[in-house]
Amino acid sequence: MSLRHSQPPSAPRTLSAAPPPLEDDKTPLQVIIVDDDATLRRQLARLLTARGMHVLTAEDGITGLEQIDRHQPDVALVDIRMPGMDGFEVLAAIKTRALACEVIMMTAYADLDVAVRSVKSGAHHFLQKPFPSADQVVLAVKKAADHKRLAERASKLEQRLLSQERFGELVGTSPKMEAVYRIIDGVANTRSTVLVLGESGTGKELVARAIHQRSSRAERPFVPVNCAAIPKELVESELFGHVRGAFTGAQSSRAGLFESANTGTIFLDEVGDLPLAAQVKLLRTLQEGEVKRVGSDEAKNVDVRVLAATNVDLNERIGLGTFRIDLYYRLNVISLKLPALRERGDDIQMLAYHFLQKLSRRMDRPAKKLSSSSLRALREYQWPGNVRELEHALERAFILCQNEVIEPNDLPFGERPPDREMRRRGEANGLNALRIEGLVDLPYPEAKKRVLELFDAEYTMEIMRRTDGNLSEAARQAGMDRSNFRRLIKRPRGGPGSAD
C-alpha cells in the first residue's frame, strides 16, 4: 500500500522511536483521520486498523471536530489545508474545549514555520506528506497515544493524592495503608503511647507526624529523636538535660528534649537502641510525667505525648536482657504495624508520582513521567529499603534522565528488576549456595563456624550496600553498636573450602 500524496514531496521528516506501549492499558487505541483527500483517508484507515487500532474518519474540519467531541479519540491526524475549517482551527478548538485528544498535524506544503507553529499551537507532532514510511506514521500515532495516556494516569494519581492529603506525607490507598489510617484516626486525640513497628524505610516518622498533626497538640512542638544516632554516653543528657558541672564539658545547664517537647509530642525512633540506664529514666518519665536533669535531684513536670518506633524485635531484645520488659509494656499501649512497600500493591505507582512531583518542585524542573515498562519494573522489585529506597531511586532517575519519560535503563537497576539480580547473585555466591557436601568432611563445630562466617560476610556486605557504605547507618539498621559492627566487617573470613 502506498501512502504517497499527489502533491510534490519535500524533505522527509524523521520520527523518533516510540516508547513501549502502555501495557497496563489494554484498550485499543482510537484514532480519527481528518483529511479532505478520500484516498489518503482510506489508506491511513486500513494501515492503522491493521495495527489493531479503532479508526474514525472525517472529510472536513467541522465533521472531524464533532466526532472528536462525541467519541473522545486518543489521537487525531489532522490535515492543515482543508476547505471551511482548516487544521489550525480544528487544533485551536480542541485546545479551547480541553478535549483529551493528542493532535498530529499533516500537510504537503510544509516548511519550518508551519512545523513550529503546529507545535506552539499545541500539536503533539507534525507529519509531512508524502510520509517517509507506513511504520513512521504508526510510530507517531503510538507515541502520541502514550503521551496522552501518561498524562491521564498522572491526572488520576494527582486526584487520588489530593483526596488523602489529610495524612500529611503518608501516601497510599492500599487496604493495608487504609488500616494504618484508621488506627491513626483512632489514636490521634488520645494521650496513649503508640509503638510504631515496621522495616527500615517504611515511614514510621511520617506516621508519628500524622498522629501529632491530627491531635489537639498539633500547634505544639513535635520533637523527633533518633535514639540510635546519639552516643550512648550522651543519651541521658540529650533526652533529660543536665546541670552545669554534671560531667566533663557541661559548662552550663541545658534542657533536654523532653522539656523541649513540653505540651507537645516526642517521637523516639529506634527506641530499642536505648541503653539500659536511659530506659530506666524513660520509664520513670512515662510513669510519673517528670524528668530529672543529669546531676540534679530536682524533678520537673512535663506534659509530653510519647510516640516510639523500632524496626527490631523488642521481644528478642527482652530475651537478651538488653530491653526492659516493663518499659516495653509502657510503650506498647497501642501498636501500629506499617506494611513493607512490597506488600502495598498499586501504592508504588502513586508514591512514584508523588516523589516525581516533589522533585519537580524542589529542583524547579519540568515533571517527568514513568513509562509502563518502568512502572512494571518498580512493581516487580522487592524494595528491601522500602519507601526510602524508592524515593532515592527516583531522585537519581530524575536527575540523570535526559528525556521527559523515565525508561527502565534510567532506573538504578536498569531493565532487570534488582530483586531477581540479587537472588541470582545470592544463589551463586551467598548463603543459598552453601553446599553441604563441602562441609560434611569437617567436624560439626568447624562446619558451623564456616557457615556463620559466611553469614556474617554476606549480611554485612548487603547491609553496607543498602546504606551506600555509610557505616553508622548500617550499624543502626543492624541493631548494633558502631564499633562492634566495624569489628564484624573486619573480622577474618573462612568459608567452605577456604584455607585456614
- Could you give the residue range(s) of every CATH 1.10.8.60 domain in the chain? 342-417
* CATH top-level class of 168-339: alpha beta
Task: Give the alpha-carbon dihedral of 257, 261, 265, 271, to 10 degrees.
Answer: 10
Instruction: Provide the pairing of β-strand 102-107 with 75-79.
Output: parallel
Question: In this structure, which CATH number among 3.40.50.40, 1.10.3720.10, 3.40.50.2300, 3.10.20.600 belongs to the domain 30-160?
Answer: 3.40.50.2300
Please provide the CATH number assigned to the domain covering 342-417.
Answer: 1.10.8.60
Helix, strand, coil percent content, the chain, rounded in steps of 5: 50, 10, 40
The pTM assigned to this predicted structure is: 0.58
Q: What is the DSSP letter of 106?
A: E
* CATH top-level class of 430-490: mainly alpha
- Could you give the residue range(s) of every CATH 3.40.50.300 domain in the chain? 168-339
C-alpha count within 13 angstroms, C-beta hemisphere, residue 236: 20
**pLDDT tens digits in sequence order for the chain, 500 residues long:** 445 443 433 333 333 333 333 344 567 889 999 999 999 999 999 999 999 999 999 999 999 999 998 888 999 999 988 988 988 999 998 888 878 899 998 888 766 677 778 878 888 888 888 888 888 899 989 888 888 887 777 666 666 655 555 577 888 888 999 999 999 999 999 999 999 999 999 999 999 999 999 999 999 999 999 999 999 888 999 999 888 877 777 778 888 999 999 999 999 999 999 999 999 999 999 999 999 998 888 889 999 999 999 999 999 999 999 999 999 999 999 999 999 999 998 899 889 988 998 899 888 888 898 888 888 889 888 899 999 999 999 999 998 888 888 998 899 875 444 444 444 444 444 444 444 444 555 677 777 776 776 677 777 777 776 766 677 778 888 888 887 887 777 665 443 333 33
Rounded Cα gap, residues 374 and 415, in angstroms: 8
CB 193 within 8 A of CB 306: yes
248-286: b or e for each residue (b if 16 or more CB lie within 10 Å)?
eebeeebebbbbebbebbbbbbbbbbbeeebbebbbebb
- Could you give the residue range(s) of every CATH 1.10.10 domain in the chain? 430-490
Rounded Cα gap, residues 381 and 47, in angstroms: 38
